[in-house]
Amino acid sequence: MALPVAEWQGRTARLWAALEPALRERLAAASLRDAVRLGCDLLRSEEEEEAALLRLCLQARTDKQPEAAGWYREQGNREFKRGRYQAALRLYSKVCLEDIARAESHGYPDRLLPKVLLRKAECLLCLERLQDAQDILSVLESKIALDGVMTTHLTQLKKLSQLKVKLGEKERCPEPAQEARGGIQGKPEIWEENNRISGASSSLSLRFDAERGRHLVASQDIVAGQSLVKEEAFVSVLCPGESLPLQDGATAWDTRATNADLYCHRCLRQLLASVPCHGCSYAKYCSQDCADMAWQQYHRTECSLGALLLTLGVFCHVALRTVLLAGFAEVSRLVARSHCGDKNLQNPEARCKPLSEAADSGADSRGIPGCGSSGRYQSSYQALFHLLPHTEQHSPEHKFLCTLSVVAICKKLQAAGLEAAVLNQESPQQRSKTKTFEKTSDELSPELKTVAEAMLRHVLQLQCNAQAITVMQDLGPGDGAVVDKKPVRLATAFFPVLSLLNHSCCPNTSVSFSGTAATVRASQPISSGQEVLHCYGPHWRRMRVVERQQLLHQYFFKCRCRACLEELESGVKSVVSIRNSFCCPTCQAQMQEEEDTLCCSNEACGTSASKDHLSGRLQDLQQQIKKALDLLSVGKADQAIKMLLKCQIDAGTFLSPEHLLMGEMEDHLAQVYATLGKWQEAARHLKKSIEVVEMHHGPSSVEVGHELFKLAQILFNGFAVSEALSTIQRAEGILSVHFGPQSAQIQELQEMKACLSELPRNILQRT
């Protein structure tokens, strides 16, 4: 969650409402510095609030259940036997974490861990993730070396050597597919970095004007798929986020793995055997290197604050980590500059002379806020500090909530004796100076007030500038036949260069992530002089203009993109409303909305129905579909098919054929047939699903790319060679534009293609 937990939001709202009107006015108009000062005074006199926050933190602590690990292990074994390696892998990950934590808290080496790691390696071998399997085996070997062979079971040693042999075999004679790597798609992308903007392509230039603020424009013609920005996040924080079901059905244990169980706390890589932090149960790392680096850079300060940071939300956490990464010297320098009337910060518009040609030739971009003295815009703390906090536009209540939250964190830092770490004061003399201040007053030290002020700025900036880092996560049964992927929010980050891109509901770029690095690619040709635009979330193909404008409200601007103008001014109907419409139960013509009723568009028919009635039917239908999927998950595929076919017939009587749900049902049917190995039926249904997805998201959208990827897998499994090859080609064309030719998806497609070209020989050999 980006913002603090609801209880804390409620408390601060009540506190705000109870303030003297005069004080409220002062707070509403306060600068960031004054807001922090007033916030400190308030939180000092309201001890009750601090106590309440402490109580809330207790709730955030996740208790360990001592027997859980055993249960996960059992479930993992069950999934493994069913061939559901993806699900098994998640369970084994959870066991490793539980066991390590348990072993540590009880002070005894856990005998069971090697067994779990062996199973996990076996799992990875089945999934053909050879490098990952290799990594696990190395971890295991070093563990055995450490514990001594005596304590390790002999059967485990045997298993380990067996797995090593198996791995060696697989590596020596890879499946034909493996040879495809480094083929046509393997060639590196053309990339020339801009000499005025770090991490940006030389085909872009930075502009600035009153209406659009800072923005990026194509300085030459750009082709679809070309990389435009490659930037490492200045700071990122893993979101606890939604959790993935580890297995189906309700049980006594938490069967969900959260992001923190699955990804490295620092670099966001997927965890195999994790290295947990010694001080807390929250931070888990991919390697000792990551653990050491994170400790050095920020975690020694954050470690004991875990519960408070979870309670106050990801934005506060990002704000804290930002100042820790920047270092106190840089933070105080920029905060001080902001006080003595830095024009860039106070009023960026004051500087807004058109810089077009001058900036292009590189003569002078010094006037653009965030640029260094050399006129270069860099992904640095200075650039981040200059992102707009929109101090005046936030509601006073929201500013109040952010102020109290940030002050609470700084007070906790002081109380926990972490001030020296925050201020990077390592020498004893400096430390003693801070200590004396602590003794004489429970007020925040001036240095921590500076830190709080910078943090408040960052929390406010995040509302407009937070970038979600997403990954494609495997869904579905994970039986290896058909992999379904969905984007999942992994972390919240600041990307100072990426933040230069303005929003459009019909953008001309697409963003993808690898670890903490973002790549922006042109999703269509962009001609020289055109602005490069990025969608902040509300896309015209997914939302109506009213919903989009509502969402964009948080960014304090009214979108004037082509799609918004068309829908708002020319009355063009949103694709969303056209395609999610009902059809007439009598004659199947489109239904039209007239207040609370829907009327058949065919005048001769004249049927009408209440909106509530049809919405109710839609809900029933969704319930039925869910039941069918439940049947599938317990292995009753035949019954699931029957149920889905019935749903389809029912849906046909009141949903328009283009309705998204019609596509989803086809997709589910394809999934069921795939689990039965009925590839032709699966392909037939998936093609219908693709038609609907294409109508909703456009033929070159990521969504269609993923559907084609699934179709390719189905055709591949069904030996439909020529069709599979042409589908692979289409999927490649679309996915490489969005994710680049080096992405995992493209690699997988390449492997399938290579395998198919080997196929005739293989079949001949078999017969």
Task: Tell me which residues touch Zn ion (CB under 5 A).
Answer: 264, 266-267, 277, 279-280, 283, 286, 290, 303, 505, 559, 561, 564, 584, 586-587, 589, 600, 602, 605, 607
- Residue closer to Zn ion (CB basis): 30 or 290: 290
CB-based contact 303:280 (threshold 8 Å): yes
To the nearest 10°, report the CA torsion of 677, 682, 684, 687. Answer: -140
> Smallest gap, in angstroms, from Cβ of residue 589 to Zn ion?
5
> Smallest gap, in angstroms, from Cβ of residue 515 to Zn ion?
8
- Residue closer to Zn ion (CB basis): 294 or 472: 294
Token look-up 């004396």 returns 436
With a CB cutoff of 8 Å and minimum separation 6, the contacts of 735 are 702, 705, 706, 709, 743, 745, 746, 749
CB-based contact 704:693 (threshold 8 Å): yes
- Residue closer to Zn ion (CB basis): 370 or 538: 538
> Smallest gap, in angstroms, from Cβ of residue 325 to Zn ion?
16
Q: Report the distance separating Cα 103 and Cα 686, nearest Å.
A: 47
> Smallest gap, in angstroms, from Cβ of residue 567 to Zn ion?
8
DSSP notation for 387-430: S---TTTS-HHHHHHHHHHHHHHHHHHHHTT-HHHHTT--SHHH
> Smallest gap, in angstroms, from Cβ of residue 282 to Zn ion?
6
**Which three-class secondary structure state does DSSP give residue 346?**
helix
- Residue closer to Zn ion (CB basis): 99 or 567: 567
- Residue closer to Zn ion (CB basis): 69 or 264: 264
Q: Report the distance separating Cα 83 and Cα 127, nearest Å.
A: 10
- 197: nearest Cα among 368, 350, 386: 368
- Residue closer to Zn ion (CB basis): 117 or 286: 286
- Residue closer to Zn ion (CB basis): 206 or 290: 290
> Smallest gap, in angstroms, from Cβ of residue 63 to Zn ion?
17
- Residue closer to Zn ion (CB basis): 301 or 750: 301
First-to-final CA distance of the chain: 58
**Which three-class secondary structure state does DSSP give residue 181?**
coil
Q: Report the distance separating Cα 462 and Cα 456, nearest Å.
A: 10
Q: Report the distance separating Cα 355 and Cα 215, nearest Å.
A: 12
> Smallest gap, in angstroms, from Cβ of residue 267 to Zn ion?
3
- Residue closer to Zn ion (CB basis): 384 or 561: 561
From residue 122, alpha-carbon distances to 134, 164, 341, 475 in Å are 10, 10, 63, 20
Q: Report the distance separating Cα 203 and Cα 193, nearest Å.
A: 9
> Smallest gap, in angstroms, from Cβ of residue 285 to Zn ion?
5
> Smallest gap, in angstroms, from Cβ of residue 257 to Zn ion?
17
- Residue 213: strand pairing partners: 209
Tokens of 653: 């009587």
Q: Report the distance separating Cα 95 and Cα 85, nearest Å.
A: 15
> Smallest gap, in angstroms, from Cβ of residue 559 to Zn ion?
3
CB-based contact 315:466 (threshold 8 Å): yes
With a CB cutoff of 8 Å and minimum separation 6, the contacts of 108 are none
- Residue closer to Zn ion (CB basis): 303 or 735: 303
Neighbour tally for 211: CB within 10 Å? 9
- Residue 491: strand pairing partners: 238, 469
**Which three-class secondary structure state does DSSP give residue 139?**
helix
3-state helix, strand, coil in the chain (%, to 5): 55, 10, 30
With a CB cutoff of 8 Å and minimum separation 6, the contacts of 239 are 1, 259, 314, 489, 490, 491, 492
CB-based contact 675:477 (threshold 8 Å): yes
Tokens of 28: 């509403």
Tell me 371's DSSP state. B
> Smallest gap, in angstroms, from Cβ of residue 129 to Zn ion?
17
- Residue closer to Zn ion (CB basis): 198 or 516: 516
> Smallest gap, in angstroms, from Cβ of residue 93 to Zn ion?
15
**Exposure string for 517-532, b = 16+ CB within 10 A, e = fewer:** bbbbbbbeebeeeeeb
> Smallest gap, in angstroms, from Cβ of residue 636 to Zn ion?
37
SS3 for 221-282 is: CECCCCEEEEEECCEEEECCCCCEECCCCCCCCCCEECHHHHECCCCCCECCCCEECCCCCC
> Smallest gap, in angstroms, from Cβ of residue 607 to Zn ion?
4
Amino acid 594 reads E
What's the gap between Cα 764 and its chain centre? 46
> Smallest gap, in angstroms, from Cβ of residue 628 to Zn ion?
29
> Smallest gap, in angstroms, from Cβ of residue 266 to Zn ion?
5
- Residue closer to Zn ion (CB basis): 564 or 749: 564
> Smallest gap, in angstroms, from Cβ of residue 548 to Zn ion?
6
- Residue closer to Zn ion (CB basis): 224 or 280: 280
Token look-up 């003794």 returns 439
> Smallest gap, in angstroms, from Cβ of residue 122 to Zn ion?
24
- Residue closer to Zn ion (CB basis): 293 or 475: 293
CB-based contact 237:321 (threshold 8 Å): yes
- Residue closer to Zn ion (CB basis): 421 or 600: 600
From residue 35, alpha-carbon distances to 455, 457, 610, 730 in Å are 12, 11, 52, 55
Tokens of 603: 């005048």
Q: Report the distance separating Cα 61 and Cα 138, nearest Å.
A: 33
- Residue closer to Zn ion (CB basis): 287 or 519: 287
- Residue closer to Zn ion (CB basis): 28 or 599: 599
Neighbour tally for 647: CB within 10 Å? 22
- Residue closer to Zn ion (CB basis): 448 or 591: 591
